[in-house]
Structure 1
Amino acid sequence: MVVLGQLGGLSGELRRQYSGEGSLRWREGGGAGASFVTCSIIRAVDSTKKVTTCYNGANVQRLSCDTGVIQVDSALYGRKDKETCSEEIPPNQLADTTCSLAGTTALVKTGCDGKRECELNPNTVRTSDPCRGISKYLQTIYSCFPAIHFATCEGSLADRRAKYK
């Protein structure tokens, strides 16, 4: 999450929150004196990882970033295919491949986003059983982002200083 606070050269306190990468454009002020401000948001991904933990009641899922912090992209508790975590599992327990627990991504994000390391027991994510009789797993896709994000705003005091040096 990037928070753009008071931008030099603009009147008043201007706050915007933005999650992601790209640009923001908004109008500052009103009437004939209004101006547009465009900010480019740059976030470098250190790496993207996928971790799968088979559910057996005892396994723990570990997420970690060598540099930067965790940002969970998606998480699944359930089953999306017949191959993942299928070793020694009877075929009837692999049959439902449309099984997932709603809200899993939000739970994993709450526990892990912004941390360098995170451990999750699938029991803490399993708030209910989305498909009885089906073997399930916890699969998380996450990225490692540097803790610092850069925002360059066209029309800001910092931008004007860079242009006239």
Structure 2
Amino acid sequence: MTMILTINTQSIIMAKGYSVYINEDQETTKNRTTLACEGYPIELRCPGSDVVMVETANYGRTDDKICDADPFQMENTQCYLPDALKIMGQRCNNRTQCVVVAGVDVFPDPCPGTYKYLEIQYECVPYSKY
């Protein structure tokens, strides 16, 4: 089971198996940040008929305090997947919601042996048919 927490700070310590929304009020904030530890789902959703537009995405590790794991698996904090934005955009842009599992079934492994997480910044925008 994945627990979703709402917090209003950028300083996050997460245990394995959690997804977290970083914005304080997801229903009224257009810009949203969310993340999920490796192996767990991340949900992007927008209210009403607004749709998701992914702005930034990384599958990897840039912080040694997010998604707690074996210390050896958290040493590499320079782990980036350049294609994460493209992959997330293909899966989620122009949809009211999407769920993606943070793992190697979806993303190539940018740093084997490192426990990763998926961090997404996205905006909810009015749907447009052009």
Q: TM-score, normalised by structure 1?
A: 0.56
- Please report the RMSD computed on the Cα atoms of aligned residues, expressed in angstroms: 1.9
State the distance in 2 between where 1:84 and 1:119 align: 20
Q: Structure 1: which 5+ runs fail to align?
A: 1-44, 150-165
* Residues matched between the structures, number: 100
Structure 1 consecutive aligned stretches of length 4 or more whose deviation exceeds 6 Å? none
Normalized per residue, which structure has more helix?
Answer: 1
Normalized per residue, which structure has more strand?
Answer: 1
Decide which of 34, 49, 52 is 2:32's aligned counterpart: 49
State the distance in 2 between where 1:136 and 1:110 align: 21
Decide which of 18, 23, 44 is 1:63's aligned counterpart: 44
Matched, 1:73 2:46: no
Are the structure 2 counterparts of residues 46 and 145 from structure 1 closer, same or farther at C-alpha, using a change threshold of 3 Å? farther
Identity of aligned residues (%): 30
State the distance in 1 between where 2:37 and 2:128 align: 34
Give the structure 1 partner of residue 78 of structure 2: 98
State the distance in 2 between where 1:116 and 1:132 align: 33
Q: Structure 2: which 5+ runs fail to align?
A: 1-27
Quick check: which has more Rg, 1 or 2?
1
Give the structure 2 partner of residue 38 of structure 1: none
Q: What's the CA shift string for 1:93-131, capped at 9, x where partnerless?
A: 11111101220100000110000010111234322x211
